Amino acid sequence: MSRTSDPAALERLDIDRFVDWPAPYQYCLTCGLCAGACPVAGIDDFDPRKFVRMVSMGMEEELVEARWPWICTMCGRCDSVCPMEIGISGMVRNIRGMRERDKVPGGLQKGLEQVEKTGNVLGLPKEDFIFIVEDVAEEIAEEPGFSGFKVPIDKEGAFILSTIHNKLINTQNEDLKHLWKIFYAAKEDWTITSDYWEGVNWGLFTGDDRAMRMMVERIILQMDTLKIENLLWPE
């Protein structure tokens, strides 16, 4: 992380770069409790205290380029021990959001773009989705006690709409069954939607408020269309 070349001129730092952030990072006492609580302190010679310090010195380039904000799991342990209640994990998310979108590491951005285009991370067409769901439903119906089980899709006026984690549609179909069986047992009036069923909101991870909002709005649209009053978001 550290520059081995010439020292930077202090005058050139944009100390007020993040002054608009609500996090009161300027009150950091550099006590290090956050670093002690952090499960990923030390990786890349980084820790939350150092992160806050760099924010307070306006070192934008170094922060946005660093791997560390992405290695951080935003678990919030630093936040809960900070005596000055600075809110470090929120700042990590802000920094993540400042990275150019095509440089967001791994599959996060690609998935997000896929969601935007097709409604779900997998880019799965509607008819394939329905096929998978009905296939799983048939399997449930074969289990003792669940005869006649069906998945209500796009049921207007249902009491609860449940979103779905894409990995359950993708590879872990078996895990779709648990919650649905409970709904059946409880005689719940429930439904899932054939469009925008995705419950995972990766905008939370990439620091992208716009994407996060888009996904929430889509779910709301579904609920409005189907006149459903309650949302269960198991993700």
Partner 1 sequence: MTQNILIIGNSPCARGIRADLERLDIPTILILADGVSADGISEPAGELSSRGSHAVFDYTTVEGCTGTAGDYQIRLRRDREPFTRSAAAVVIAEQGLQVPLYDEYGLGPSGKVLPVSEAAARAGELLPDGGTVAVFNGIYSESQPGMADAAMECAIAIAENRGRRVFFFTGNLKVSGAGGELLFRRSREAGVVYFKFTHTRPAIRQEDTGAVRIEFTDEITGEPFVLTPDVTVVDERIAPSPRLDSLAQIFRLHRDAGGFLQTPNVRRAPVSTNRRGIFAAGPARSPERESDAPADAHAAIGAVLDLLHDLHDPGGDSIHRRGLPAEIDQNACIRCLTCFRICPHGAVLLFPDRLAVGESGCMGCGICAAQCPRGAIRFEGVRAGETGGAAPDADDAEKFVPKMVIFACEKSGRIAARSAPSEKIELVPVPCGGAVSDAHLLDALQSGADGVLLLACHVGNCDAETGTRYGRRTVERVQKVLEKTGGAPGRVAYRTVAANMESEAQSTIQNFQQELSALSPVSTGKVQGESRGTVAIEKGKTLS
Partner 2 sequence: MERFGTFTIFDILIKYIKEGRIRLDKSRYAGRRVTYHEPCNYARKSEATFGYGYYEEPRWILSQCVDDWVELQPNRRDQICCGGGGGTLLTGYNEERIRYGERKIRQIRQSGADLTIVPCHSCHGQIKGVKDELGMPDLEVKYLWELVADCLVMEE
Is residue 145 at the binding interface for partner 1, with CB under 8 A as the rule? no
Q: Give 64's contacts (C-beta < 8 A, 6+ positions apart).
A: 95, 98, 99
CA-nearest of 230, 212, 120 to 167 is 120
CA distance 73 to 111: 18
In the set 71, 98, 141, 221, which binds partner 2 (CB under 8 A)? 71
Which of partner 1, partner 2, none interacts with 33 (beta carbon under 5 to 8 A by kind)? none
Is residue 163 at the binding interface for partner 2, with CB under 8 A as the rule? no
Closest approach, Cβ 143 to partner 2, in A, equals 8
CA-nearest of 183, 219, 177, 192 to 130 is 192
Closest approach, Cβ 208 to partner 2, in A, equals 11
Each residue 36-75 as x (binds partner 1 by CB under 8 A) or -, in order, gives ---------x---xx--xx-xx-x----------------
CA distance 197 to 120: 7
CA atoms within 13 A on the CB side of 140: 24
Which of partner 1, partner 2, none interacts with 49 (beta carbon under 5 to 8 A by kind)? partner 1
CA distance 6 to 17: 22
Each residue 1-40 as x (binds partner 1 by CB under 8 A) or -, in order, gives xxx--xxxxxx---xx---------xx--x----------
Residue 69 near residue 105 (C-beta atoms within 8 A): no
Closest approach, Cβ 224 to partner 2, in A, equals 8
Binding site for partner 1 (CB under 8 A): 1-3, 6-11, 15-16, 26-27, 30, 45, 49-50, 53-54, 56-57, 59
